[in-house]
Structure 1
Amino acid sequence: MTDLAERLTNTEREEHWPNVRPKDAASLVLLDRSGKVPRVLMGLRHPGHRFMPNVFVFPGGRVELADKSMPVHGVLDTDSERRLGQHVSRPSLTRGRALAAAAIRETYEETGLLLGTTEAGAPEIPAESWKPFEEKGVFPDLEALTFVFRAITPPRRPKRFDTRFFAADVNAICAKVDGLVGPSSELVETRWLTFAETEKAELPAITRVILEELRTRLDAGFRRELPVPFYSMHRGRFVRVALD
Protein backbone atom coordinates (compact mmCIF):
# COMPACT_ATOMS: atom_id res chain seq x y z
CA MET A 1 0.00 0.00 0.00
CA THR A 2 1.29 3.46 -0.85
CA ASP A 3 1.87 6.11 1.80
CA LEU A 4 -1.04 8.13 0.39
CA ALA A 5 -3.40 5.18 0.61
CA GLU A 6 -2.25 4.54 4.19
CA ARG A 7 -2.92 8.17 5.05
CA LEU A 8 -6.46 7.91 3.69
CA THR A 9 -7.07 4.75 5.68
CA ASN A 10 -5.87 6.41 8.88
CA THR A 11 -8.22 9.38 8.42
CA GLU A 12 -11.32 7.24 7.84
CA ARG A 13 -13.91 6.97 10.59
CA GLU A 14 -16.38 4.18 11.14
CA GLU A 15 -19.90 4.87 9.87
CA HIS A 16 -23.11 2.88 10.24
CA TRP A 17 -25.21 4.12 7.34
CA PRO A 18 -26.92 1.52 5.14
CA ASN A 19 -24.57 0.50 2.36
CA VAL A 20 -25.51 1.90 -1.06
CA ARG A 21 -24.08 1.55 -4.54
CA PRO A 22 -21.84 4.52 -5.43
CA LYS A 23 -23.24 6.86 -8.09
CA ASP A 24 -21.24 7.99 -11.10
CA ALA A 25 -19.84 11.47 -10.59
CA ALA A 26 -17.29 13.73 -12.23
CA SER A 27 -15.08 16.59 -11.12
CA LEU A 28 -12.82 19.07 -12.87
CA VAL A 29 -9.40 20.38 -11.88
CA LEU A 30 -8.71 23.66 -13.64
CA LEU A 31 -5.01 24.45 -13.98
CA ASP A 32 -3.37 27.82 -14.54
CA ARG A 33 0.26 27.31 -15.54
CA SER A 34 0.84 30.81 -16.91
CA GLY A 35 2.88 31.98 -13.92
CA LYS A 36 6.05 30.78 -12.21
CA VAL A 37 4.13 28.15 -10.22
CA PRO A 38 0.92 26.36 -11.22
CA ARG A 39 -2.36 27.17 -9.53
CA VAL A 40 -5.61 25.21 -9.22
CA LEU A 41 -9.15 26.52 -8.95
CA MET A 42 -10.89 25.45 -5.74
CA GLY A 43 -14.23 26.34 -4.21
CA LEU A 44 -15.26 26.65 -0.56
CA ARG A 45 -18.38 24.59 0.11
CA HIS A 46 -21.28 26.16 1.97
CA PRO A 47 -21.08 25.57 5.76
CA GLY A 48 -24.68 24.35 5.78
CA HIS A 49 -24.01 21.36 3.52
CA ARG A 50 -24.53 17.93 5.02
CA PHE A 51 -21.82 16.46 2.80
CA MET A 52 -18.34 17.98 3.29
CA PRO A 53 -19.30 21.44 4.61
CA ASN A 54 -16.90 24.38 4.84
CA VAL A 55 -13.97 22.79 2.98
CA PHE A 56 -12.25 23.58 -0.30
CA VAL A 57 -12.98 21.16 -3.13
CA PHE A 58 -12.89 20.93 -6.92
CA PRO A 59 -16.20 21.61 -8.70
CA GLY A 60 -18.11 18.45 -9.52
CA GLY A 61 -21.20 16.35 -8.99
CA ARG A 62 -23.39 13.48 -10.19
CA VAL A 63 -23.77 12.48 -13.81
CA GLU A 64 -27.20 13.32 -15.22
CA LEU A 65 -29.06 11.49 -17.99
CA ALA A 66 -28.79 14.49 -20.33
CA ASP A 67 -24.99 14.41 -20.09
CA LYS A 68 -25.04 11.35 -22.36
CA SER A 69 -26.75 13.19 -25.22
CA MET A 70 -25.41 16.75 -24.90
CA PRO A 71 -23.68 17.76 -28.19
CA VAL A 72 -19.94 18.22 -27.64
CA HIS A 73 -16.87 19.30 -29.55
CA GLY A 74 -14.26 16.62 -30.22
CA VAL A 75 -13.57 13.48 -28.22
CA LEU A 76 -11.47 12.45 -25.27
CA ASP A 77 -7.93 11.31 -25.95
CA THR A 78 -7.54 7.56 -26.43
CA ASP A 79 -5.64 7.08 -23.14
CA SER A 80 -8.43 8.71 -21.14
CA GLU A 81 -11.13 6.75 -22.98
CA ARG A 82 -9.36 3.45 -22.34
CA ARG A 83 -8.77 4.11 -18.64
CA LEU A 84 -12.34 5.27 -18.04
CA GLY A 85 -13.43 1.80 -19.15
CA GLN A 86 -11.19 -0.06 -16.71
CA HIS A 87 -12.55 -1.57 -13.48
CA VAL A 88 -16.19 -0.91 -14.38
CA SER A 89 -18.97 -3.44 -14.89
CA ARG A 90 -20.28 -1.99 -18.17
CA PRO A 91 -17.57 -0.01 -19.96
CA SER A 92 -18.65 2.09 -22.93
CA LEU A 93 -17.53 5.18 -24.80
CA THR A 94 -20.92 6.74 -24.02
CA ARG A 95 -20.31 6.42 -20.29
CA GLY A 96 -16.87 8.04 -20.52
CA ARG A 97 -18.25 10.83 -22.67
CA ALA A 98 -21.06 11.47 -20.17
CA LEU A 99 -18.58 11.66 -17.30
CA ALA A 100 -16.49 14.25 -19.14
CA ALA A 101 -19.56 16.26 -20.08
CA ALA A 102 -20.79 16.15 -16.47
CA ALA A 103 -17.47 17.57 -15.27
CA ILE A 104 -17.92 20.53 -17.62
CA ARG A 105 -21.58 21.06 -16.70
CA GLU A 106 -20.93 20.86 -12.95
CA THR A 107 -18.05 23.32 -13.27
CA TYR A 108 -20.43 25.80 -14.85
CA GLU A 109 -23.16 25.23 -12.26
CA GLU A 110 -20.79 25.76 -9.34
CA THR A 111 -18.44 28.44 -10.71
CA GLY A 112 -20.13 30.07 -13.70
CA LEU A 113 -17.24 29.06 -15.99
CA LEU A 114 -18.04 27.46 -19.37
CA LEU A 115 -15.37 25.30 -21.01
CA GLY A 116 -15.62 24.76 -24.73
CA THR A 117 -15.62 26.47 -28.09
CA THR A 118 -17.81 29.19 -29.61
CA GLU A 119 -16.71 28.46 -33.18
CA ALA A 120 -19.41 25.90 -33.98
CA GLY A 121 -22.58 27.89 -33.25
CA ALA A 122 -25.12 27.20 -30.51
CA PRO A 123 -25.70 23.55 -29.54
CA GLU A 124 -29.17 21.98 -29.42
CA ILE A 125 -29.44 21.13 -25.75
CA PRO A 126 -31.14 17.98 -24.38
CA ALA A 127 -32.19 19.50 -21.03
CA GLU A 128 -32.50 22.80 -19.15
CA SER A 129 -29.37 22.04 -17.15
CA TRP A 130 -27.38 22.79 -20.33
CA LYS A 131 -29.33 25.98 -21.19
CA PRO A 132 -26.45 28.42 -20.48
CA PHE A 133 -24.30 26.66 -23.09
CA GLU A 134 -27.00 27.25 -25.69
CA GLU A 135 -27.41 30.89 -24.64
CA LYS A 136 -23.65 31.54 -24.81
CA GLY A 137 -23.19 29.50 -27.99
CA VAL A 138 -20.71 27.16 -26.31
CA PHE A 139 -20.09 23.55 -27.32
CA PRO A 140 -18.40 21.65 -24.42
CA ASP A 141 -14.89 20.70 -25.53
CA LEU A 142 -13.93 17.17 -24.52
CA GLU A 143 -10.55 17.53 -26.21
CA ALA A 144 -9.56 20.00 -23.49
CA LEU A 145 -9.98 17.37 -20.75
CA THR A 146 -7.61 14.69 -19.48
CA PHE A 147 -8.67 11.92 -17.09
CA VAL A 148 -6.26 12.12 -14.12
CA PHE A 149 -7.77 10.49 -11.00
CA ARG A 150 -10.54 8.20 -9.74
CA ALA A 151 -11.85 7.59 -6.21
CA ILE A 152 -14.79 5.71 -4.71
CA THR A 153 -16.35 6.82 -1.43
CA PRO A 154 -15.97 4.07 1.21
CA PRO A 155 -19.00 1.95 2.21
CA ARG A 156 -21.39 2.99 4.99
CA ARG A 157 -21.37 6.70 4.18
CA PRO A 158 -24.47 8.93 3.83
CA LYS A 159 -23.52 9.54 0.18
CA ARG A 160 -21.30 7.43 -2.06
CA PHE A 161 -19.77 8.45 -5.37
CA ASP A 162 -17.52 6.83 -7.95
CA THR A 163 -15.84 10.04 -9.05
CA ARG A 164 -13.64 10.54 -12.08
CA PHE A 165 -11.48 13.64 -11.98
CA PHE A 166 -10.50 15.43 -15.18
CA ALA A 167 -7.96 18.21 -15.63
CA ALA A 168 -8.12 21.13 -18.05
CA ASP A 169 -6.09 24.25 -18.69
CA VAL A 170 -7.51 27.67 -17.83
CA ASN A 171 -7.36 28.52 -21.55
CA ALA A 172 -10.28 26.12 -22.10
CA ILE A 173 -12.60 28.68 -20.43
CA CYS A 174 -14.45 30.56 -23.17
CA ALA A 175 -17.35 32.20 -21.29
CA LYS A 176 -18.47 33.13 -17.80
CA VAL A 177 -21.76 33.76 -16.02
CA ASP A 178 -21.59 35.86 -12.85
CA GLY A 179 -23.61 35.33 -9.70
CA LEU A 180 -23.29 31.55 -9.28
CA VAL A 181 -20.79 31.78 -6.41
CA GLY A 182 -21.79 33.42 -3.15
CA PRO A 183 -23.32 33.14 0.34
CA SER A 184 -26.44 31.30 -0.83
CA SER A 185 -24.71 29.06 -3.40
CA GLU A 186 -23.13 25.63 -3.18
CA LEU A 187 -19.71 27.32 -3.30
CA VAL A 188 -19.49 30.48 -1.25
CA GLU A 189 -16.21 31.52 -2.88
CA THR A 190 -13.60 30.31 -5.37
CA ARG A 191 -9.84 30.81 -5.27
CA TRP A 192 -6.88 30.10 -7.53
CA LEU A 193 -4.42 28.46 -5.12
CA THR A 194 -0.83 27.38 -5.50
CA PHE A 195 0.03 23.92 -4.21
CA ALA A 196 1.79 25.55 -1.25
CA GLU A 197 -1.38 27.50 -0.43
CA THR A 198 -3.54 24.36 -0.56
CA GLU A 199 -1.41 22.89 2.25
CA LYS A 200 -2.78 25.60 4.58
CA ALA A 201 -6.41 25.33 3.43
CA GLU A 202 -9.14 23.21 5.01
CA LEU A 203 -9.43 20.22 2.68
CA PRO A 204 -10.93 16.72 2.78
CA ALA A 205 -8.29 14.00 3.05
CA ILE A 206 -9.05 12.69 -0.44
CA THR A 207 -8.59 16.17 -1.91
CA ARG A 208 -5.11 16.39 -0.39
CA VAL A 209 -4.27 13.05 -1.96
CA ILE A 210 -5.54 14.24 -5.35
CA LEU A 211 -3.37 17.35 -5.10
CA GLU A 212 -0.28 15.32 -4.28
CA GLU A 213 -0.95 12.95 -7.17
CA LEU A 214 -1.55 15.92 -9.44
CA ARG A 215 1.68 17.59 -8.40
CA THR A 216 3.57 14.37 -9.17
CA ARG A 217 1.91 14.28 -12.57
CA LEU A 218 2.91 17.89 -13.27
CA ASP A 219 6.50 17.20 -12.21
CA ALA A 220 6.56 14.31 -14.70
CA GLY A 221 5.50 16.63 -17.52
CA PHE A 222 1.73 16.02 -17.31
CA ARG A 223 1.95 13.57 -20.20
CA ARG A 224 -1.32 11.90 -21.16
CA GLU A 225 0.29 8.47 -21.25
CA LEU A 226 1.06 8.60 -17.51
CA PRO A 227 -0.99 6.08 -15.45
CA VAL A 228 -4.07 7.31 -13.60
CA PRO A 229 -4.33 6.54 -9.84
CA PHE A 230 -7.53 4.85 -8.65
CA TYR A 231 -8.31 4.76 -4.90
CA SER A 232 -10.97 2.55 -3.33
CA MET A 233 -11.48 0.76 -0.03
CA HIS A 234 -11.05 -3.01 0.30
CA ARG A 235 -11.45 -4.87 3.61
CA GLY A 236 -11.26 -1.65 5.60
CA ARG A 237 -8.17 -0.25 3.90
CA PHE A 238 -7.65 2.08 0.96
CA VAL A 239 -5.87 0.58 -2.02
CA ARG A 240 -4.23 2.46 -4.87
CA VAL A 241 -4.36 0.92 -8.35
CA ALA A 242 -2.65 2.41 -11.41
CA LEU A 243 -4.88 2.55 -14.49
CA ASP A 244 -2.44 2.05 -17.38
Structure 2
Amino acid sequence: MNIDKSQIRNASTVIVIRDRHENPSILMGQRGAQAVFMPNKFVFPGGALDVGDAHIPLANPLPDTCLNRLAEDADASLAHALAVAGIRELWEETGLILGEKGAWQGTPPADWETFAQRGYLPSAAPMQFVFRALTPPGRPRRFDARFFLVDADDVATNLDDFDAACDELSHLQWVALSDARSFDMPFITEVVLAEVEARAKELTPPESVPFFKNNDEESLFLRLRGRPMTG
Protein backbone atom coordinates (compact mmCIF):
# COMPACT_ATOMS: atom_id res chain seq x y z
CA MET A 1 0.00 0.00 0.00
CA ASN A 2 1.37 3.40 -0.95
CA ILE A 3 1.41 6.05 1.76
CA ASP A 4 0.67 9.62 0.78
CA LYS A 5 3.67 11.88 1.29
CA SER A 6 1.44 14.16 3.32
CA GLN A 7 1.47 11.48 6.01
CA ILE A 8 5.25 11.77 6.37
CA ARG A 9 6.01 14.41 8.98
CA ASN A 10 9.18 16.44 9.05
CA ALA A 11 11.03 15.97 12.32
CA SER A 12 14.12 17.19 14.09
CA THR A 13 16.39 15.35 16.53
CA VAL A 14 19.23 16.73 18.64
CA ILE A 15 22.24 14.69 19.74
CA VAL A 16 24.13 16.43 22.52
CA ILE A 17 27.71 15.21 22.92
CA ARG A 18 29.67 15.83 26.10
CA ASP A 19 33.43 15.62 26.74
CA ARG A 20 33.95 14.83 23.07
CA HIS A 21 37.75 14.96 23.22
CA GLU A 22 38.23 12.74 26.26
CA ASN A 23 35.43 10.34 27.18
CA PRO A 24 32.50 11.30 24.93
CA SER A 25 28.96 10.68 26.10
CA ILE A 26 25.57 11.44 24.57
CA LEU A 27 22.22 12.37 26.10
CA MET A 28 19.49 9.75 25.72
CA GLY A 29 16.13 8.90 27.24
CA GLN A 30 13.59 6.09 27.08
CA ARG A 31 10.23 6.39 25.33
CA GLY A 32 7.17 5.23 27.24
CA ALA A 33 5.73 1.73 26.95
CA GLN A 34 2.47 3.14 25.56
CA ALA A 35 4.10 5.29 22.88
CA VAL A 36 2.76 4.61 19.37
CA PHE A 37 6.16 5.20 17.81
CA MET A 38 9.13 3.18 19.08
CA PRO A 39 7.79 2.25 22.56
CA ASN A 40 10.39 1.49 25.26
CA LYS A 41 13.29 2.40 23.00
CA PHE A 42 16.17 4.63 24.04
CA VAL A 43 16.37 7.63 21.73
CA PHE A 44 17.73 11.15 21.38
CA PRO A 45 15.48 14.12 22.16
CA GLY A 46 13.39 15.09 19.15
CA GLY A 47 10.01 15.18 17.48
CA ALA A 48 7.87 16.46 14.65
CA LEU A 49 7.74 20.07 13.49
CA ASP A 50 4.92 22.25 14.79
CA VAL A 51 3.23 24.81 12.55
CA GLY A 52 4.53 27.63 14.72
CA ASP A 53 8.19 26.59 14.48
CA ALA A 54 8.61 28.49 11.22
CA HIS A 55 7.76 31.78 12.95
CA ILE A 56 10.02 31.57 16.01
CA PRO A 57 12.95 34.03 15.81
CA LEU A 58 16.49 32.70 16.19
CA ALA A 59 19.29 34.67 17.84
CA ASN A 60 21.61 33.06 15.27
CA PRO A 61 20.82 30.88 12.23
CA LEU A 62 22.22 27.51 11.25
CA PRO A 63 25.71 27.49 9.70
CA ASP A 64 25.68 28.02 5.92
CA THR A 65 27.07 24.53 5.29
CA CYS A 66 24.12 23.01 7.14
CA LEU A 67 21.62 25.20 5.29
CA ASN A 68 23.13 24.05 2.01
CA ARG A 69 22.87 20.34 2.91
CA LEU A 70 19.33 20.72 4.26
CA ALA A 71 18.23 22.28 0.97
CA GLU A 72 19.14 19.22 -1.10
CA ASP A 73 16.19 16.98 -1.97
CA ALA A 74 13.97 19.13 0.27
CA ASP A 75 12.20 22.45 0.58
CA ALA A 76 14.95 24.89 1.56
CA SER A 77 12.46 26.99 3.53
CA LEU A 78 12.14 24.16 6.07
CA ALA A 79 15.64 24.70 7.47
CA HIS A 80 14.64 27.43 9.94
CA ALA A 81 11.70 25.42 11.29
CA LEU A 82 13.84 22.27 11.60
CA ALA A 83 16.38 24.13 13.72
CA VAL A 84 13.66 25.66 15.90
CA ALA A 85 11.92 22.30 16.34
CA GLY A 86 15.15 20.68 17.49
CA ILE A 87 15.79 23.40 20.07
CA ARG A 88 12.17 23.24 21.25
CA GLU A 89 12.17 19.46 21.57
CA LEU A 90 15.48 19.52 23.45
CA TRP A 91 13.98 22.02 25.89
CA GLU A 92 10.67 20.20 26.31
CA GLU A 93 12.12 16.70 26.68
CA THR A 94 15.26 17.46 28.71
CA GLY A 95 14.93 20.96 30.17
CA LEU A 96 18.22 21.99 28.53
CA ILE A 97 18.46 25.31 26.70
CA LEU A 98 20.29 25.85 23.44
CA GLY A 99 20.24 29.62 23.18
CA GLU A 100 21.70 32.99 23.99
CA LYS A 101 20.72 35.56 26.56
CA GLY A 102 18.22 37.98 25.11
CA ALA A 103 14.71 39.40 25.32
CA TRP A 104 11.84 38.29 23.10
CA GLN A 105 9.99 40.85 21.04
CA GLY A 106 6.36 40.61 22.09
CA THR A 107 4.75 37.68 23.86
CA PRO A 108 6.30 34.29 23.09
CA PRO A 109 4.00 31.41 22.09
CA ALA A 110 2.85 29.06 24.85
CA ASP A 111 5.45 26.41 23.93
CA TRP A 112 8.20 28.96 24.50
CA GLU A 113 6.97 30.83 27.58
CA THR A 114 9.16 29.05 30.12
CA PHE A 115 12.14 29.14 27.75
CA ALA A 116 11.72 32.90 27.42
CA GLN A 117 11.22 33.31 31.16
CA ARG A 118 14.73 31.97 31.66
CA GLY A 119 15.96 34.94 29.64
CA TYR A 120 17.05 33.15 26.48
CA LEU A 121 16.47 33.29 22.75
CA PRO A 122 16.94 30.06 20.75
CA SER A 123 20.18 29.90 18.78
CA ALA A 124 20.92 27.44 15.96
CA ALA A 125 24.56 28.41 15.40
CA PRO A 126 25.97 25.43 17.37
CA MET A 127 23.89 22.85 15.46
CA GLN A 128 25.61 20.54 12.96
CA PHE A 129 23.36 18.74 10.48
CA VAL A 130 24.84 15.21 10.42
CA PHE A 131 22.16 12.72 9.30
CA ARG A 132 18.78 12.39 7.62
CA ALA A 133 16.48 9.37 7.70
CA LEU A 134 13.05 8.61 6.28
CA THR A 135 11.00 6.06 8.24
CA PRO A 136 10.39 2.93 6.11
CA PRO A 137 6.89 2.23 4.71
CA GLY A 138 4.49 0.18 6.79
CA ARG A 139 5.20 1.87 10.13
CA PRO A 140 2.32 3.37 12.17
CA ARG A 141 3.97 6.78 11.80
CA ARG A 142 6.52 8.01 9.29
CA PHE A 143 8.99 10.83 9.73
CA ASP A 144 11.54 12.60 7.57
CA ALA A 145 13.97 13.19 10.41
CA ARG A 146 17.02 15.44 10.41
CA PHE A 147 19.62 14.81 13.10
CA PHE A 148 21.69 17.64 14.54
CA LEU A 149 24.85 17.21 16.61
CA VAL A 150 25.46 19.78 19.37
CA ASP A 151 28.44 20.12 21.69
CA ALA A 152 27.38 20.17 25.34
CA ASP A 153 29.60 23.21 25.89
CA ASP A 154 27.10 25.19 23.81
CA VAL A 155 24.18 24.32 26.10
CA ALA A 156 23.41 27.37 28.22
CA THR A 157 22.08 25.58 31.31
CA ASN A 158 23.20 22.95 33.82
CA LEU A 159 23.87 19.74 31.90
CA ASP A 160 22.74 17.56 34.80
CA ASP A 161 19.53 19.43 35.64
CA PHE A 162 16.53 17.81 33.93
CA ASP A 163 13.92 19.22 36.34
CA ALA A 164 12.21 21.27 33.62
CA ALA A 165 11.75 18.25 31.33
CA CYS A 166 8.32 16.94 30.43
CA ASP A 167 7.57 13.24 30.98
CA GLU A 168 7.86 12.12 27.35
CA LEU A 169 11.30 10.62 27.96
CA SER A 170 12.21 8.77 31.13
CA HIS A 171 15.62 7.68 32.43
CA LEU A 172 17.33 10.71 30.94
CA GLN A 173 21.05 10.13 31.23
CA TRP A 174 24.46 10.75 29.75
CA VAL A 175 25.52 7.51 28.06
CA ALA A 176 29.17 6.83 27.27
CA LEU A 177 29.43 6.67 23.49
CA SER A 178 31.35 3.41 23.81
CA ASP A 179 28.47 1.84 25.80
CA ALA A 180 25.51 3.22 23.87
CA ARG A 181 24.91 0.14 21.72
CA SER A 182 24.16 -1.94 24.82
CA PHE A 183 20.89 0.00 25.18
CA ASP A 184 17.66 -1.06 23.48
CA MET A 185 17.42 1.43 20.63
CA PRO A 186 15.88 1.64 17.16
CA PHE A 187 17.95 0.42 14.22
CA ILE A 188 18.26 3.90 12.76
CA THR A 189 19.59 5.24 16.07
CA GLU A 190 22.38 2.68 15.87
CA VAL A 191 23.19 3.84 12.34
CA VAL A 192 23.28 7.47 13.47
CA LEU A 193 25.53 6.50 16.39
CA ALA A 194 28.14 5.24 13.94
CA GLU A 195 28.13 8.66 12.27
CA VAL A 196 28.42 10.40 15.66
CA GLU A 197 31.37 8.20 16.62
CA ALA A 198 33.10 9.10 13.37
CA ARG A 199 32.50 12.80 13.98
CA ALA A 200 33.02 12.88 17.75
CA LYS A 201 36.05 15.16 17.55
CA GLU A 202 34.99 17.19 14.51
CA LEU A 203 34.02 20.77 15.34
CA THR A 204 32.77 21.85 11.93
CA PRO A 205 29.69 20.67 10.00
CA PRO A 206 30.27 17.78 7.57
CA GLU A 207 30.79 18.40 3.87
CA SER A 208 28.37 15.58 3.06
CA VAL A 209 25.52 14.13 5.10
CA PRO A 210 24.21 10.53 5.00
CA PHE A 211 20.56 10.18 3.93
CA PHE A 212 18.80 6.88 4.65
CA LYS A 213 15.97 7.26 2.14
CA ASN A 214 13.19 4.70 2.40
CA ASN A 215 10.34 5.02 -0.06
CA ASP A 216 7.68 2.66 -1.35
CA GLU A 217 9.92 1.34 -4.12
CA GLU A 218 13.32 0.91 -2.52
CA SER A 219 15.71 1.83 0.28
CA LEU A 220 18.65 4.02 -0.65
CA PHE A 221 21.66 5.18 1.32
CA LEU A 222 22.65 8.51 -0.20
CA ARG A 223 24.99 11.40 0.57
CA LEU A 224 23.71 14.97 0.68
CA ARG A 225 26.38 17.31 -0.63
CA GLY A 226 24.19 20.38 -0.90
CA ARG A 227 23.03 22.37 -3.86
CA PRO A 228 24.27 25.74 -5.12
CA MET A 229 23.02 28.52 -2.91
CA THR A 230 21.38 31.44 -4.68
CA GLY A 231 21.04 34.99 -3.59
Any unmatched runs of 5+ in structure 1?
A: 1-15
The within-5 A match list for 1:49-60 is 49-60=35-46
Shift of the 152–142 alpha-carbon distance from structure 1 to 2, 3 Å rule, reads same
- Residue-by-residue CA offset, 1:22-44 (whole Å, 9 max, x unaligned): 11110100010266221110111
- In structure 2, the residue matched to 1:107 is 90
Identity, % of aligned positions:
33
Alpha carbons 2:13, 2:46 under 8 Å: kept? yes
The code of the aligned residue for 1:178 comes to: D
Q: Partner of 1:143: helix, strand, or coil?
A: coil
Q: CA deviation at 1:226?
A: 2.9
Q: Check if 1:147 corresponds to 2:126.
A: no
| TM-score normalised by L of structure 1 | 0.83
Q: CA offsets per residue over residues 78-127 of structure 1, 9 Å max, x none? A: 11001111012x322xx101100100001111111111111x23454552
Code of the residue aligned with 2:151 in structure 1: it is: D
Q: C-alpha separation between the residues in 1 aligned to 2:221 and 2:11?
A: 19
Q: In the alignment, which of 158, 161, 169 is matched to residue 143 of structure 2?
A: 161
**Whole-angstrom CA distance in 1 between matches of 2:162 and 2:175:** 21
Structure 1 residues 191 and 123: alpha-carbon distance in aligned structure 2, compared to 1, 3 A threshold: farther
1:19 aligns with 2:13: no
1:27-46, aligned counterparts within 5 Å? Answer: 27-33=13-19, 36-46=22-32
CA distance in 2, matches of 1:136, 1:170: 18
Distance 1:56 1:30 in 2: 14
Do structure 1's residue 243 and structure 2's residue 224 form an aligned pair?
yes
Q: Note closer, same or farther for the CA distance 1:132–1:179 as it changes in structure 2 (3 Å cut).
A: closer
* 5+ long unaligned stretches in structure 2: 226-231
Structure 1, 133-142 or 234-243: larger mean CA deviation:
234-243
Aligned position for 1:136: 118
SS at match of 1:213: helix
Q: Distance in 2 between matches of 1:128 and 1:111?
A: 17
Contact 1:69 1:126 in 2 (8 A): no
Instruction: Tell whether the 8 Å contact from 1:41 to 1:193 is kept in structure 2 after alignment.
Output: yes
Deviation at 1:236, TM superposition (A): 5.6
Of residues 49, 66, 70 in structure 2, which corresponds to 1:80? 66
2:37 aligned counterpart, secondary structure:
coil
Q: Corresponding residue for 2:197?
A: 215
Correspondence for 2:48: 62
Segment drifting more, 22-31 vs 185-194: 185-194
SS in 1 for 2:125: helix
TM-score, reference length from structure 2: 0.88
How many corresponding residue pairs?
220
Structure 1 segments of 4+ aligned residues over 6 angstroms from their partners: none
Residue 180 (str. 1) matches residue 165 (str. 2): yes
Structure 1 residues 35 and 222, CA gap change in structure 2 (3 angstroms): closer
Give the conservation status (yes or no) of the 8 Å contact 2:21–2:200: no
Shift of 1:156: 2.2
Q: Taking structure 1 as reference, are residues 136 and 225 closer, same or farther at Cα in structure 2, changes over 3 Å only?
A: same
